[in-house]
Amino acid sequence: MSDWIIAIGIVILIVFISLKGNINRKKLLNKNEGFYKKNIASDIFIILLVFILSHNYFQQLDFQKIGKGFIIDVDIISVIVSIFVAPFFLTLLFKNYLYPKDIASAKVIFGYPVNYLPNSNKEFLWFSISIITGVIFEELLCRQFLFLSFYNAFHLKGDALLIVSSLLFAIGHLYQGWKGILSSFFMGLALGKIFQMQESIWLPIVLHLFFNFPILVLAYRRITDLKKLGELSREEV
């Protein structure tokens, strides 16, 4: 029974997150600290709720039963790992990489609407924490929890699980527009396949963190540059 509850709950939650994110994208949020704190709290609450419903969801999955689908070579996994890690180092090494030419008029940075980004050092701290907790939450929800619940409730296996999880993962990124949805779908396929091949959620979490780390570099650089341009008030910084 708990498998059905968790499976249906995951679908409802992802749709809710998608719709809420799309609404928030159109809002002008001058003070984002509370927004980040709410996201952190809700992520932790949902993870704890799943643990209460069934702590089995935090154990290593049996992919001999669930299935790995199409088997990919170790060399391909290495290439995928490099693709996920590269943007972080490129952002550190090259100042203009992924960074808008006109930061004051930029509407989106690395797939994030600028109204989602921090406007002060204090907000940046909470933004960083929310990125980390958000990645852990997404990987547990869209990989670990979804694979097990959909296998137990709907008897999906292998690549069927991979495709369904990637579609739901993409829907959850509706706020990033169609480009974000497409990139999230392919990202979900890559992380899901690595999850299947490695039989552990830890590598997808680490790769997802590396992939998201550039936004931390870009967000901090944005705060610094907007200070120089006088776009942020003293109260904000």
pLDDT at 19: 87
> pLDDT above 90 covers what percent of the chain?
75
The least confident of 53-67, 93-107, 154-168, 200-214 is 93-107
**pLDDT at residue 29, as a whole number:** 57
List the one residue out of 152, 148, 144, 138 whose CA is nearest residue 187. Answer: 138
| Tally of domains within the chain | 1
Residue 224 has pLDDT above 70, yes or no: yes
Mean pLDDT of 132-157: 97
So what's the pLDDT on residue 28? 57
More confidently predicted of 127 and 111: 127
Q: Please, what is the average pLDDT of the chain?
A: 91
pTM equals 0.92
Determine the pLDDT at residue 104. 87
CA-CA distance, 21 to 211, in Å (whole number)? 20
Q: What is the mean pLDDT of residues 121-147?
A: 97
CB-based contact 138:128 (threshold 8 Å): no
For the cut 90, the answer to whether the pLDDT of residue 229 exceeds it is no
136 within some domain: yes
Residues 6+ apart with CB under 8 A from 79: none
User: Residue 236: inside a domain, yes or no?
Assistant: no
Report the share of the chain in percent with pLDDT over 70.
Answer: 94
Q: What is the mean pLDDT of residues 89-101?
A: 90
Higher pLDDT among residues 176 and 27, named by residue: 176
Q: Is 160 within the bounds of a domain? A: yes
Residue 237: inside a domain: no
Residue 224 belongs to a domain: yes
Query: Residues with Cβ < 8 Å from 227, sequence gap 6 or more?
Result: 237
On whether residue 26 sits in a domain, the answer given is yes
User: Domain range spanning residue 93?
Assistant: 2-229
Residue 235 is assigned to a structural domain of this protein: no
pLDDT band at 23 (very low <50, low <70, confident <90, very high): confident
The answer as to whether 234 is a domain residue is: no
Instruction: Find the mean pLDDT for residues 176-202.
Output: 94
34-47 pLDDT tens trace? 989 999 999 999 99
Q: Give the model's pLDDT for residue 27.
A: 66
